[in-house]
Amino acid sequence: METKLKPDFLNEVASIPACDKINECIQCGVCSGSCTTAEHWEYPPRKIIAMIRAGMKDEVLNSSSIWYCVSCYLCTARCPRDIKPANIMHALEAIALKENYKPPTKTTTMYRSFARSIEQNGRIYEFGFMLEYFLKTNPFAALKMLPMAFSLLTHKRMPLLPKAVEGRHELNRMFRNIATGGYR
Amino acid sequence: MEPKIGVYVCHCGSNIAGIVDVEKVAEFAKTLPAVVVARDYKFMCSDPGQDLIKNDIREKGVNRVVVASCSPQMHEPTFRRAVQEAGLNPYYFEMANIREHCSWVTENPKEATEKAKALVSAAVRRVFYHQPLESKEMPVHPATMVVGGGIAGIQAALEIANSGHKVYLVEREPSIGGHMMQLDKTFPTLDCSACILTPKMSMVGAHPDIELLTYSEVDYVSGYVGNFRVKIRKKARYVDDTKCNGCGTCMTKCPVKVDSEFDERLSKRKAIYTPFAQAVPNVTVIDREHCTYFLKGKCRACEKFCERNAVDFQQEDQILDIEVGNIILTTGYQLFDPTPLKEYGYGRLDNVITSLEFERMVNSAGPTTGHILLKNGQEPKSIALIHCVGSRDEKYHTYCSRVCCMYAMKFAHLLKEHVHGAEVYEFYIDIRSFGKGYEEFYNRVQREGTVFFRGRPGEVTDVALTPEEKGKLIVQFEDTLVGKQRRLPVEMVVLCSGLEAHKDALDVAHTFNISIGKDHFFTEKHPKLDPVATMTDGIFIAGCCQGPKDIPDTVAQASAAAARVLALIDKGKVEIEADTAFIDEAKCSGCRVCNLLCPYSAITFIEKDKVSRVNEALCKGCGTCVAGCPSGAITHRHFTNEQINAELEGILV
């Protein structure tokens, strides 16, 4: 599918502080060569950078690729030009959400459920977080998780009720101030 | 003579005039005291520009000249010469730098024009107080010292010695030859490296005008262009080089085995050894750190079997004091050690080797007599060559090392030749085959069936994910031209490391008082127009100590450096700058503070008169003594208090 190129996309990404060296990429491919989840990516990380430069904003942000980044940072550790590809992937995720792109991935729902859990309790509440995620995506898939949930419960690794931290309102204020706003 | 100042403001095309209002600056200059003429012109350094100055001197009686243009680095000599040709003393000239210090670094035209005016005003007030000075001429000693006996040093030494002038060739290792001696073939013509180098080495060894000082290092350098004094430490060899004929009996009798540096630790040498069979001079040396006699006090097998009584355990380091007119530094490079790149597993995984190790292995005189062998003694059927290891990488060296693409492709060719049916893979980012015949060589290697993958591998691992990966080294990479991550099992991985500056390059730079870049390669005087000279007159550089380069470029540079030296020897004299310091002996208290401060050892205390005196030939005009003298007895010619105060006043008014 041919969509319109957006030449400003490169500047948009390059103006994000952690992505400012994107212009210096030499397309050597060490990021994709190192990537631990590369087999799942439609476009490998190197190509994502090339596509940003080409202005292929819609293709990049409509693709599920960037959502497969698991933040192992091998790309960033090995990049010979210090581009920090992992940072770029996360910045792209934020742009995709802010601008209402709908990439074919459940990861966005997962991130939102995770964020809501933190917001409500100041810490992660596994039971509620997973419940919300499965309800919003595919409730039947939760069945597969039952043995693990049971095991966690019996080992007292997963409380059934949430426990909030003290001062979570201050924490939420901090989140609001950081104000990337991408997760809601 | 009443000062009549002429001011000339240069446009430098649009370099200056694009920002600075040059006409306004010239108009302003006319209002300054003692200025009789002020002009602006497109290019002051051109012949018509210089003629403007000369005509004004002759016709308008101008006797002080200010040119407001670029940095004095390039054109101060040009304008001084013009002033002199018109009959004035060349020191009646001052340059105001309104390009590097003004137009290139100021964005606002108004501010730039104001700054240019201030700089011109400073120069005008300063030149008012200039004094005529005479520069001196000193003779040039006809001998030359070349430091480093690789191909660059050998070439430079031969070029100079062949013209009948004396050369001291100083080499740290027991033999000359350098890295080129370790190489097998040379790209792109595939001449055998040793076959083209050893004849030159023997020529050096036999040349009547070359004094070869191997196993020697330069301790100390003093003096200046034309007249250097050098202290050379001739390290104790424990073998008398006048007696040893290189028969090699001592080497066969010596019981100690040590990893051979020359063979990149792939073979053993003895504690008494020559690094390789064709060593020049063919004289053995005892490695004190490993010799049983030096460690335990007994053995002396070598001494017993030496028919010429050449072994001498009593030998000590010798200090030679020599005088030379010029010095050429050809101290070479070292290979980048890929150990820090943990992802490629060098030192951890068997059969991951460096390029120099491969060079030794593929060399028929090397440790495996030219067979490429795995740790288990088998020939590898598949080999990966990884480019840009340690180069083009912000974590190690940012520069492109220039030779690696070509030597990696040479390896591919040699592998196809040495190992029947070998599968060879090159992993590159960009192929840089820039020289004569290089692109054609790239083409040839492609035709021979080497597979080129564009992609810098993420890692080399021995962790197999599939049965066919078992027992192999797996190169994980993205084939960037396809856009897919792949894992390629191979049997051997060669890391094509870049060249880096010697670890002690900084010490060498200090010893010879030359500048060094951030990657520790020596800095040339001008990157384009003066590539073999340094900022220190009389000291030249050639070869890889200046930056990574291949053999043709190294040889060309060495010949260029030799030509520069021969020009100085032929001229026979050098002009010494006149802006030296002098001591008013009536004011000197004889405290000797200046003696210690002077970085060039140019000031000595005269016991008889109880005062210090400056040797003008040694003085570089740095001004340190002037600032340090507690009695204010020292004046720096051309930088007198009067001149500097006037200059400051000019800026501030």
Is residue A80 included in any domain, yes or no? yes
Pairing between β-strand B573-576 and β-strand B459-461 as defined by DSSP bridges: unpaired
- Secondary structure (DSSP) of B91-123: TSEEEEE-IIIIITT---HHHHHHHHHHHHHHH
The CA distance from B65 to B87, in Å, is 12
pLDDT at B581: 94
State which of A72, A98, A124 marks the end of a domain.
A98
**Predicted confidence band of residue A157 (pLDDT cuts 50, 70, 90):** confident
pLDDT in tens, A77-110: 999 999 999 999 999 999 998 899 999 999 999 9
Give exposure, B350-384, as e/b (b: 16+ Cβ within 10 Å): ebbbbbbbbbbbbbeebbbeeebbeeeeeebebbb
Catalogue all structural domains in chain B, each as residue range(s) with its CATH number: 5-135 (3.40.50), 144-235+317-332+502-571 (3.50.50.60), 249-305 (no CATH), 334-500 (3.50.50.60), 581-636 (3.30.70.20)
Could you tell me which chain A residue has the CA closest to the CA of B454? Answer: A28
pLDDT at A181 over 70: no
Domain match, A23 and A80 both: yes
Q: Do B394 and A81 touch (CB under 8 A)?
A: yes
pLDDT in tens, B484-510: 999 999 999 999 999 999 999 999 999
DSSP state of B651: H
State which of A39, A69, A98 marks the end of a domain.
A98
Nearest Cα of chain B lies from the Cα of A120 at a distance, in angstroms, of 41
pLDDT at A183 over 50: no
CA diameter of chain A: 55
The CA distance from B191 to B587, in Å, is 69
Which residues in chain A are contacts of B457 at CB distance < 8 A? 30, 33
Nearest Cα of chain A lies from the Cα of B526 at a distance, in angstroms, of 28
Q: Do A78 and B458 touch (CB under 8 A)?
A: yes
The CA distance from B508 to B73, in Å, is 25
Q: Do A44 and B483 touch (CB under 8 A)?
A: yes
* R_g over Cα of chain A: 19
CA dihedral angle for residue B306, residue B309, residue B314, residue B318, rounded to 10 degrees: -110
Q: Do A34 and B429 touch (CB under 8 A)?
A: no
Is residue A1 included in any domain, yes or no? no
Domain match, A114 and A93 both: no
On whether the CB atoms of residues B457 and B446 are closer than 8 A, the answer is no
What distance lies between CA B22 and its chain's CA centroid? 40
Nearest Cα of chain B lies from the Cα of A90 at a distance, in angstroms, of 21
Which residues in chain A are contacts of B394 at CB distance < 8 A? 80-82
- From residue B175, how far is each of B149, B169, B179, B270, B582 by CA, in Å? 8, 11, 11, 16, 47
Better-predicted residue by pLDDT, B521 or B598: B521
- Which DSSP helix (H) or strand (E) runs through B214? none
pLDDT at A2: 58
Mean confidence (pLDDT) of chain B: 95
Identity of the residue in A33, A47, A82 whose CB atom sits nearest the CB atom of B456: A33
Residue B264 CB neighbours (<10 A): 21
Which residues in chain B are contacts of A78 at CB distance < 8 A? 343, 458
Residues across chain B: 653
Give start and end residues of each alpha helix (H) in B128-183: 151-161
Nearest Cα of chain A lies from the Cα of B426 at a distance, in angstroms, of 13
Could you tell me which chain B residue has the CA closest to the CA of A76? Answer: B458
Dihedral sign (CA B73, B78, B79, B80): positive
- From residue B151, how far is each of B183, B251, B328, B551 by CA, in Å? 12, 27, 13, 8
Section B108-133 average pLDDT: 96
Could you tell me which chain A residue has the CA closest to the CA of B475? Answer: A33
Is residue A183 included in any domain, yes or no? no
* Residues sharing a CB contact under 8 Å with residue B160, sequence separation 6 or more, in sequence order: B144, B146, B167, B562, B565, B566
Q: Do B480 and A29 touch (CB under 8 A)?
A: yes
On whether the CB atoms of residues B544 and B499 are closer than 8 A, the answer is yes
Domain match, A22 and A91 both: yes
Domain match, A81 and A149 both: no
State which of A57, A80, A98 marks the end of a domain.
A98
Domain match, A168 and A133 both: yes
* Helical packing angle, A85-98 and A107-121, nearest 10°: 80
Domain match, A92 and A126 both: no
Show the domain range for A140.
107-178
Q: Do A74 and B476 touch (CB under 8 A)?
A: no
Q: What tokens appear for B146 in the block?
A: 């070349």
The CA distance from B167 to B228, in Å, is 13
Nearest Cα of chain A lies from the Cα of B551 at a distance, in angstroms, of 27
Q: Which residues pair with B211 in a beta bridge?
A: B168
On whether the CB atoms of residues A120 and A164 are closer than 8 A, the answer is yes
DSSP state of B273: E
**Predicted confidence band of residue B570 (pLDDT cuts 50, 70, 90):** very high
pLDDT at B26 over 90: yes
Q: Do A29 and B430 touch (CB under 8 A)?
A: no
- By a Cβ cutoff of 8 Å, what residues of chain B touch chain A? 343, 388, 392-395, 429-430, 454-459, 476-480, 483-485
pLDDT at B212 over 60: yes
The CA distance from B502 to B521, in Å, is 8
Could you tell me which chain B residue has the CA closest to the CA of A38? Answer: B485
Work out how many domains chain A is built from and give that number. 2
pLDDT at A179: 63
- φ, ψ (nearest 5 deg) of residue B575: -90, 130
Which residues in chain A are contacts of B459 at CB distance < 8 A? 33-34
Q: Do B456 and A32 touch (CB under 8 A)?
A: no
The CA distance from B176 to B211, in Å, is 12
Section B209-238 average pLDDT: 95
Which residues in chain A are contacts of B456 at CB distance < 8 A? 28-30, 33, 80
- Secondary structure (DSSP) of B59-90: HS---EEEEEES-HHHHHHHHHHHHHHTTS-T
pLDDT at B583 over 50: yes
Domain match, A22 and A87 both: yes
Section B154-169 average pLDDT: 98
Section B424-446 average pLDDT: 97
Q: Do B484 and A44 touch (CB under 8 A)?
A: yes
pLDDT at B579 over 80: yes
pLDDT at A156: 86
**Residue to substitute from B392, B426, B480, interface A, most A β-carbons within 10 A:** B480
pLDDT in tens, B624-652: 999 999 999 999 999 999 999 999 999 99
Section B546-570 average pLDDT: 98
Nearest to residue B310, comparing CAs of B403, B396, B232, B241?
A: B241
pLDDT at B315: 96
On whether the CB atoms of residues B338 and B346 are closer than 8 A, the answer is yes
Q: What percent of chain B has pLDDT over 70?
A: 100
pLDDT at A184: 39
pLDDT at B368: 95
pLDDT in tens, B170-188: 999 999 999 999 999 999 9
Q: Which residue has the tokens 């030494």?
A: B157
Domain match, A93 and A129 both: no
Amino acid identity, residue B5? I
**Predicted confidence band of residue A182 (pLDDT cuts 50, 70, 90):** very low
Is residue A92 included in any domain, yes or no? yes
The CA distance from B72 to B54, in Å, is 19
pLDDT at A180 over 60: no
Q: B547-552: which pairs have CB atoms within 8 A and are 24 or more residues apart?
A: B547/B399, B547/B521, B548/B333, B548/B399, B548/B400, B548/B401, B548/B402, B548/B403, B548/B498, B548/B499, B549/B402, B549/B403, B550/B187, B550/B402, B550/B403, B550/B406, B550/B435, B551/B151, B551/B180, B551/B186, B552/B435, B552/B436
Q: What percent of chain A has pLDDT over 90?
A: 59
- From residue A85, how far is each of A77, B342, B389, B455, B550 by CA, in Å? 10, 20, 20, 16, 34
Could you tell me which chain B residue has the CA closest to the CA of A80? Answer: B393
Domain match, A157 and A123 both: yes
pLDDT in tens, B337-358: 999 999 999 999 999 999 999 9
Domain match, A59 and A129 both: no
Identity of the residue in B394, B459, B480 whose CB atom sits nearest the CB atom of A27: B480
Domain match, A17 and A77 both: yes
Identity of the residue in B388, B459, B485 whose CB atom sits nearest the CB atom of A32: B485
Is residue A14 included in any domain, yes or no? yes
For A101, counting Cβ atoms within 10 Å of its Cβ (0-12 exposed, 13-18 middle, 19+ buried), the class is: middle
pLDDT at B434 over 70: yes
DSSP state of A23: G
Which residues in chain B are contacts of A37 at CB distance < 8 A? none
- By a Cβ cutoff of 8 Å, what residues of chain A touch chain B? 26-35, 38-39, 43-44, 46-47, 74, 78, 80-82
Identity of the residue in A28, A78, A81 whose CB atom sits nearest the CB atom of B455: A28
Is residue A184 included in any domain, yes or no? no
**Predicted confidence band of residue B617 (pLDDT cuts 50, 70, 90):** confident
Identity of the residue in B343, B392, B478 whose CB atom sits nearest the CB atom of A29: B478
Nearest Cα of chain B lies from the Cα of A89 at a distance, in angstroms, of 17
pLDDT in tens, B238-273: 999 999 999 999 999 999 999 999 999 999 999 999
The CA distance from B181 to B457, in Å, is 31
Mean confidence (pLDDT) of chain A: 90
For B136, counting Cβ atoms within 10 Å of its Cβ (0-12 exposed, 13-18 middle, 19+ buried), the class is: middle
- Which DSSP helix (H) or strand (E) runs through B621? none
Could you tell me which chain B residue has the CA closest to the CA of A37? Answer: B485
pLDDT in tens, A36-93: 999 999 999 999 999 999 999 999 999 999 999 999 999 999 999 999 999 999 999 9
Is residue A4 included in any domain, yes or no? no
Is residue A72 included in any domain, yes or no? yes
The CA distance from B451 to B454, in Å, is 10
Domain match, A49 and A122 both: no
pLDDT at B127 over 50: yes
Amino acid identity, residue B324? V
The CA distance from B199 to B31, in Å, is 70
On whether the CB atoms of residues B338 and B344 are closer than 8 A, the answer is yes
**Predicted confidence band of residue A159 (pLDDT cuts 50, 70, 90):** confident
Q: Which residue has the tokens 């590369």?
A: A38
User: Which ipTM did the prediction report?
Assistant: 0.84
Nearest to residue A60, comparing CAs of A49, A71, A76, A72?
A: A49
The CA distance from B382 to B422, in Å, is 6
* Helical packing angle, B438-447 and B404-418, nearest 10°: 40
Q: Do B480 and A43 touch (CB under 8 A)?
A: no
Nearest Cα of chain A lies from the Cα of B453 at a distance, in angstroms, of 11
pLDDT in tens, A114-141: 988 988 898 889 888 988 999 999 888 8
pLDDT at B600 over 90: no
On whether the CB atoms of residues B173 and B332 are closer than 8 A, the answer is no
Sheet with B473-479, edge to edge strand ranges: B459-461, B473-479, B484-490
pLDDT at B547 over 70: yes
**Residue to substitute from A31, A37, A78, A82, interface B, most B β-carbons within 10 A:** A78
pLDDT at B224: 87
Which residues in chain B are contacts of A26 at CB distance < 8 A? 392, 429-430
Nearest Cα of chain A lies from the Cα of B378 at a distance, in angstroms, of 29
